[in-house]
Structure 1
Amino acid sequence: MRRKVLAMVLSAVMTAGVLAGCGNSSAEKSTADTKGTDSKEATYTVGISQFAEHGSLDNCREGFLEGLKEAGIEEGVNLDVILDNAQADTGTAATIADNFVSKNVDLICAIATPAAMSAYNSTKGTEIPVIYTAVSDPVAAQLATEDGTPVGNITGTSDALPVEEQLKMIRATLPDAKKIGILYTTSETNSESTIATYKELAGDYGFEIVDTGINTIADVEMAAKDLVTKVDCITNLTDNTVVSALQTVLAAANDAKIPVFGSEVEQVKNGCLASMGIDYVSLGKQTGEMAAKVLKGEAKASELNYELITEPSFYGNTEVADNLGITLDESYVSDAAEMFDSIEVE
C-alpha cells in the first residue's frame, strides 16, 4: 500500500513538472509573439494618391520612394505602398483619399494639387498625416498660410514655376514674339494662381498673355486649335489635365508652326522646345525625406512648413528647334541641365 501511495506521489510531482515546463514554453511563445508584433509595428503603410498619369508626376512618385528608401523606409522591407491614380478626375481623387482613410494608412502622399486638397479634406478629424508634392501654390490651395505654416496635419513640397526665368528664356529665344498663349483647367487652383503671376510679369518682357480655360481633357483639342491662331507661342503650366493631353497641344502648335515651351524636363523630352523648370525626381526625394521624419515620429506634419526647389534649370530639344527653324540661345544651351536631340513620346 505504501509503495502504491509513493508511486502516486511521484507521478503527481512529474506531472506538475511537465505542466510547469509547458507553462514556460507558453511564456516564451508569448514573448516571441510580442516581438513579432513589435516587428509588424515597424512596417509602415503609405497611400499614394497620384492625380494624373504623366511624366512629371511619375517622377515625383519615383523620387518620393527614393527619399523614403534613403531614410531607411523601403518598399518590400518595412514599407507597404497602396498606389492609386485619379486619372485627372477630382471626384476620383476624393474617393481615393476616403479609401486610404478607411484603411487607416500611416500617411498619405498626395501628388498634385487636387489630390492634396482631397486628402486634406478626407483626413480632417483623423490623425493621418498628409505629405503633398507638386502643389504649385499651397497658399492659394488653402493648404498653408502666407508664411508657409500648415493649416493642419498636412505639409509637403511645392513645384512653383519660375515664371520670370521662363519669360526671360522665351524672350531670348523669340526676340520678336509678342503674345504668349496659356491653356489651363479652370478647376485647378494652381493654374489660375500661376497665370496671375504670368500676367503680372509679362509686360516687363514685352509680352501679352492670352489664356484659354478648359473644363475637361475633351476640351483640349478645340481650345488648342483656337489658341494657336492668336499667339506667337504657347507656354505650358504644370496643369495636370493639359499636360496629360500634351501631344494634342503639340499637334495643334506644330500645324501652326509655333513653339510650345514646357514647364519641366519631361515635356521638353516629349516635344516642347525648351523649359526653365525643376527636377521632379529631386522634388519627390525632398518630399520623401519629409515623410520619413513624420513616419519615424521625429516631427509632425503640422510642424513642418512646406518646402520648394528654388533653382530652375534649362532643358532644350534640338530636334524641335530644327523642325521649327529656331536657334536656341547659346547662353542657355551652354549651361543646360540636359539637352535632347530627339522627341521621345511614351
Structure 2
Amino acid sequence: MKKFRMIAAALALVLALPLTACGQKEESEHKMYSIGINQYGEHASLDNCREGFLQGLAEAGLVEGTDFTVDYQNAGFDDNIARQIADSFSAADVDLMVGIATNSATACYAAAENKDIPVIFTAITDPVQAGLDSGNVTGTSDKLPVEAQLDLIRQLQPEAKTIGILYTTSEPNSVSAIAEYQDKAPDYGFTIDAIGVTSQSEVTQAADTLISHGVDAMSNLTDNNVVGVLPSILEKANEAGIPVYGSEVEQVKLGCVASAGIDYVQLGKQTGLMAAKVLRGEATCADLPYETISEYSIYINSPALDAMGITVPADIAEKAVESSAQ
C-alpha cells in the first residue's frame, strides 16, 4: 500500500510539471518590441509619415503598449542632434530604428551598423544616393513625380518660362530632385533657376534672390530646411505675384497654389507594414527592397489660385483634390 502511494505521488508530481518536462515546447514569453523613431524635424509632411507608420503597425496587428513601445525624438533639423538621438537608440539596444527624412535615416544607419540593429526609413527621395540601398536597412522613398509637376505648371501657366527652386546643398534628396528637374524641364519648355542653401537661416534671403530674378513660378521640393520656413516664402512670393507650387498636400494647405504629389500618411503606412515584417522575423531588411509610391494626386488651393489669377483647366479641375485650409 505504501509503495502504491509513492507511485501515485510521483505521478501527480509529473502531471503538475510544465509541458516542457514531458518533452513538449513551453510557450515563449510575449515579445515587447522597442522602436526608436528619429524624426529630422517637425513639419506636417514628416508628422504625417510618423502617423502613417504607426497606422501601418496597427494594420499589421501590432498594438502599441502591448506589442511595442515607441521612443519618439525630434532632431529639430540639426544634424548633430540627429546623430545623438541615433547613438542613444543604439546604446539602448532598441529592436528597430526608424529614420524619418534622409539625415535622420543616415544617422540611424551609422549608429546601428556595428550592432546590426535593423533600420527602416521613410521620406527619402533617393535612397541610393544616400547610401541606404544595402545592408540592414530598407524603407520607402518619397521620390517626387517631377514630370507630373512640370506638366501641371505648364497647364496652369501656359506662358511661364522660368521655375525657381530653393534647395539644401547637403540634402541628397534635394540634390537628386534638382538634377531631375534640370534634366526634364526643357521637355516642357522651362528653364530652372535653382539656388542652394546650407542652412535654414539662409532660405528666406535665397527666396528674395529668386524673386529678384523674375522667375515665373516657384516649385517646392520636400527639402526640410525650405519646408520649415514655407510660410515666410509664401508671404514674399505672394507679395511679388509669383505662384508657388508644393510637392505634397500639406504644402498646398499652407498656401501653395497646387501640387502633383504623394500622400505622406500612405507612405508612412507602407513603411509601418514593412517594419512589422522585420520585427516579427518574417523578413530581414535585406529581403525587402526599398519601395516607392508610384501613384500621385493633383492637389489645388482654389483661393491661392484665384489670388494669382490662374484658371484651372476643366480636365485638371475634374480630377484635382481641393486642399485649401479649412
- After TM superposition, the score normalised by the length of structure 2 is 0.91
The SS at the match of 1:134 is: strand
Q: Which amino acid aligns with 1:57?
A: L
Q: RMSD of aligned C-alpha atoms?
A: 2.5
CA distance in 2, matches of 1:36, 1:54: 44
Residues 65, 74 of structure 1: 8 Å contact kept: no
| Structure 1 residue 271, shift from structure 2 partner | 0.5
Residues 319, 343 of structure 1: 8 Å contact kept: no
| Structure 1 residue 36, shift from structure 2 partner | 10
Match of 2:281 among 273, 297, 311: 297
> Alpha carbons of 1:36 and 1:84: their partners in 2 closer, same or farther (altered >3 Å)?
farther
Alignment of 1:145-160 (within 5 A): 151-160=134-143
Equivalent in the alignment of 2:87 = 98
Match of 1:279 among 244, 257, 263: 263
Match of 1:48 among 20, 30, 37: 37
CA distance in 1, matches of 2:70, 2:229: 28
CA distance in 1, matches of 2:264, 2:56: 12
Q: Which runs of 5+ in 1 are unaligned?
A: 1-19, 145-150
Equivalent in the alignment of 1:317 = 301
CA distance in 2, matches of 1:27, 1:259: 75
Q: Which amino acid aligns with 1:194?
A: A
Residues 46, 105 of structure 1: 8 Å contact kept: yes
Match of 1:252 among 209, 228, 236: 236
Matched residue count: 317
| Structure 1 residue 229, shift from structure 2 partner | 2.0
Q: Which amino acid aligns with 1:119?
A: C
Equivalent in the alignment of 1:4 = none
The SS at the match of 1:168 is: helix
Q: Which runs of 5+ in 2 are unaligned?
A: 1-9
Residues 228, 253 of structure 1: 8 Å contact kept: yes
Alignment of 1:175-254 (within 5 A): 175-230=158-213, 231-254=215-238
Match of 2:73 among 67, 71, 84: 84
| Structure 1 residue 37, shift from structure 2 partner | 7.7
| Structure 1 residue 277, shift from structure 2 partner | 0.2
Residues 229, 256 of structure 1: 8 Å contact kept: no
2:277 is the counterpart of 1:288: no
CA distance in 2, matches of 1:343, 1:295: 38
The SS at the match of 2:114 is: coil
Match of 1:270 among 240, 254, 258: 254
| Structure 1 residue 77, shift from structure 2 partner | 2.1
The SS at the match of 1:45 is: strand
| Structure 1 residue 330, shift from structure 2 partner | 2.2
2:46 is the counterpart of 1:57: yes
Equivalent in the alignment of 1:114 = 103
Match of 1:38 among 23, 26, 29: 29
Moved over 4 A (4+): none
The SS at the match of 1:310 is: coil
CA distance in 2, matches of 1:220, 1:179: 19
- After TM superposition, the score normalised by the length of structure 1 is 0.86
Q: Which amino acid aligns with 2:61?
A: G
CA distance in 2, matches of 1:186, 1:74: 40
CA distance in 2, matches of 1:264, 1:322: 20
The SS at the match of 2:319 is: coil
| Structure 1 residue 226, shift from structure 2 partner | 1.3
Match of 2:115 among 126, 135, 155: 126
| Structure 1 residue 217, shift from structure 2 partner | 1.2
Q: Which amino acid aligns with 2:109?
A: Y
Larger gyration radius, structure 1 or structure 2: 1
Question: Deviations for 1:197-246, whole angstroms, at most 9, x for unmatched residues?
Answer: 00000001110000111111111111111111221110000001100111
| Structure 1 residue 193, shift from structure 2 partner | 0.6
Residues 183, 212 of structure 1: 8 Å contact kept: yes
| Structure 1 residue 331, shift from structure 2 partner | 1.3
Equivalent in the alignment of 1:17 = none
Residues 153, 301 of structure 1: 8 Å contact kept: yes
